[in-house]
Amino acid sequence: MKNHVEDHPEVAGYAAALTSPLRTLRMYAAPSLGEESPFEVRDELPVLTPPALVLAGRHDFICGPRWADLLHVGLEEAELTVLEEAGYLAHLEQPAQFDACVLAFLHAQGVVRGLRNS
């Protein structure tokens, strides 16, 4: 995580807040820090049947590719995309790629029609 935050200083404060032992948001980073997860709902994923886009940043230290893959496997109608140069804030770190992935998914679902923005 350190190298990624150094490459993306715009997320440094947010990353520090999430990993600070004094912050309640630390619970979201628990699995990535080798700590016990505060909740477990993977067994309930199969009841979610609508199409889903699971989008993760390769350098996401909270909900990265490992966790995205678990969602992808657990959700029957899920599509998985990993943005190689992004971390937790993929929509800020790689906005064009993030938007292109979301638009492509929405086009594939028939939600958005017309010209693609990719």
Question: Nearest 10 degrees: CA dihedral of 24, 27, 33, 34?
Answer: 140
Q: Which residues are 56's β-sheet partners?
A: 82
* Residue 90 domain boundaries: 2-108
- The answer to the question of residue 113 being in a domain is no
The CATH number given to whatever domain includes residue 7 is 3.40.50.1820
Q: Model pTM greater than 0.85?
A: no
Q: Which residue has the tokens 């628990």?
A: 30
Q: How far apart are CA 78 and CA 89, in angstroms?
A: 21
Q: For 35-92, what is each residue's pLDDT tens digit?
A: 666 667 778 888 888 899 999 999 998 888 988 998 899 998 899 999 999 998 999 9
- The answer to the question of residue 114 being in a domain is no
- The answer to the question of residue 23 being in a domain is yes
Q: How many structural domains comprise the chain?
A: 1
Q: How far apart are CA 14 and CA 118, in angstroms?
A: 29
